[in-house]
Structure 1
Amino acid sequence: MPAVPPSRLALLGGGFSTDEDGLLDEWMLGHARTDRPKVGFLPTASGDAPAYIERFLAAFRARPDCEPSVLPLFRRELGGDELRTYLLAQDVVYVGGGNTANLLAVWRTHGVDRLLREAYDRGTLLCGISAGANCWAEGSHTDSFGPLTFLPDGLGLLPGSVCPHYDSEPGRRPSYRAAVARGALPAGWALDDGAGALFTEGRLTETVARAPGAFVYRVEPDGVTGGAQERALPCRLLPGGLDARGSRP
């Protein structure tokens, strides 16, 4: 009987919806359990926005190294057994951005949360951007309710909390640090746009960037002043990424 691959999660600070170079997506696919993985896209957080789905299909159908498909839930087509069969057959589940709170509610209504846990335990690589990064943790920093705030909810597959868009959206950094400092969110991981983080069996095992200056951060209470401290983690620059001058080597 073949060994079960390790459980893996990838948090993406970019991808097909924001970057033209495809570097973060290529890096993510390189950690799938097969050379030509089946990639199932869940656009739930966007309300299954048609333009978002088309953008995913256009980007991934152009790649020879994967087999893309989409799982809509707002106009669900699969029955219970078919839904389970589909998700467990995917080598990668890629979750798009949008509203984290709505995503979690819809998944639970359809039982997708339980099926994703099963797929994760069986070696499916789970990944996503923005809300699609938030959803895997115990809590996250989100604008699901309008103003930036904390959401002490998630699938809990990744211990701690997640904050996306750490460098690109005004207010993200101080708001997330304040939530961690006062215990509204557990210590966790913040991602600049352009960075990526891989977790294997819940432990951080790789950090990458598509351009210099993009980082993954560990954010924790400082234990002294009642504030929070952040630690920028070294990120390997992906081949073909931008150099320090903003051009490609």
Structure 2
Amino acid sequence: MAVIPERRLALLGGGFSTDDDGLLDDWVLDQVRAPRPKVCFVPTASGDAPAYVEQFLAAYQARSCDPSVLQLFRRDLDDDDLRTFLLSQDVVYVGGGNTANLLAVWRAHGVDRLLREAFEHGTLLCGISAGANCWAESSHTDSFGPLTHLSDGLGVLSGSVCPHYDSEPGRRSSYQTAVANHALPAGWAVEDGVGALFTDGQLTDTVTRTPQAQLYRVEPDGDNGAKEQALPCRLLVPAHQPTPPA
């Protein structure tokens, strides 16, 4: 009988582009069983910004993995090679930027369908900011300037996602309002520093690189408002430091 691979997705509130300690990047790689994981960075949301690509390569070439970059604004691969390339990856890491533009470009190139296929075959999908938003059915975004809702995500994660829940003015109140009035479905609010792993649609691990950062479940409260539930996060520490007692 064929083994059905786990479908896994990670929402990131940090990583190589924002943090110096590399804890969330190491945590991502720890989720992969391959001795040298293939990790593809997809910087579409930033318009394939060269500096962003350089940051990724500097961070991941220093790790035990085989990093690569998929650039769509100067695409080299035909459809068959693009499919082969994406389905060969152990990790697809999507960068931040503009969520709406990201989804539009992916759909123009068929990358949305290929990432769904990779997900079903066991590739770990992850990302920060727009790269976290894109996986959900809906998201809280500033893609259009003011904070608003976007309802046409890839839907590999049910519900909605809000990044930068603690660090950008207006995020918390705006997301709660959108959930309360059903502009967005119930979902996950990610503070900076947090990583959340979903396996087959269920939350299976929550970690943080800073003691105060949390993941929240935000739902309508049944009284025209919204309620948030803070979920416990395991504190990540550098490999040379002992794990703090629980």
Q: TM-score range by the shorter chain?
A: over 0.9
SS in 2 for 1:168: coil
Q: 2:171 aligns to what? A: 172
In the alignment, structure 1 segments of 5+ residues that lack a partner are 244-249
In the alignment, structure 2 segments of 5+ residues that lack a partner are 242-246
Q: What is the one-letter code of the residue matched to 1:235?
A: C
Please tell me whether the aligned partners of residues 32 and 124 of structure 1 are also in contact (alpha carbons under 8 angstroms).
Answer: no
SS in 2 for 1:155: coil
Q: 1:220 aligns to what? A: 219
Please tell me whether the aligned partners of residues 13 and 129 of structure 1 are also in contact (alpha carbons under 8 angstroms).
Answer: yes
Distance, in Å, in 2 between the alignment partners of 1:33 and 1:42 is 21
1:190-234 per-position Cα deviation (integer Å, ceiling 9, x unaligned): 0100011000001111100001110000000001x2000000000
Distance, in Å, in 2 between the alignment partners of 1:5 and 1:57 is 28
Per-residue deviation, 1:239: 2.0
Distance, in Å, in 2 between the alignment partners of 1:26 and 1:143 is 29
SS in 2 for 1:118: helix
Per-residue deviation, 1:2: 6.4
1:236 equivalenced with 2:224 (yes/no): no
1:26-72 per-position Cα deviation (integer Å, ceiling 9, x unaligned): 11111124132100000000000000001100110011x21100000
Q: What is the one-letter code of the residue matched to 1:37?
A: P
CA RMSD of aligned residues (A): 1.3
1:175-195 per-position Cα deviation (integer Å, ceiling 9, x unaligned): 000000000000000010001
Distance, in Å, in 1 between the alignment partners of 2:167 and 2:189 is 12
Identity of aligned residues (%): 75
With the length of structure 2 as denominator, give the TM-score of the two structures: 0.95
1:46 equivalenced with 2:46 (yes/no): yes
With the length of structure 1 as denominator, give the TM-score of the two structures: 0.94
Moved more, 195-204 or 32-41: 32-41
Please tell me whether the aligned partners of residues 33 and 124 of structure 1 are also in contact (alpha carbons under 8 angstroms).
Answer: no
Runs of 4+ in structure 1 deviating by more than 2 angstroms, as ranges, are 1-5
1:9-38 per-position Cα deviation (integer Å, ceiling 9, x unaligned): 000000000001110011111112413210
Q: What is the one-letter code of the residue matched to 1:132?
A: G
Q: 2:144 aligns to what? A: 145
Please tell me whether the aligned partners of residues 33 and 123 of structure 1 are also in contact (alpha carbons under 8 angstroms).
Answer: no
Q: 1:204 aligns to what? A: 203
Please tell me whether the aligned partners of residues 9 and 199 of structure 1 are also in contact (alpha carbons under 8 angstroms).
Answer: yes
1:193 equivalenced with 2:169 (yes/no): no
1:24 equivalenced with 2:60 (yes/no): no
Distance, in Å, in 2 between the alignment partners of 1:78 and 1:5 is 27
Q: 2:92 aligns to what? A: 93
Q: What is the one-letter code of the residue matched to 1:29?
A: L
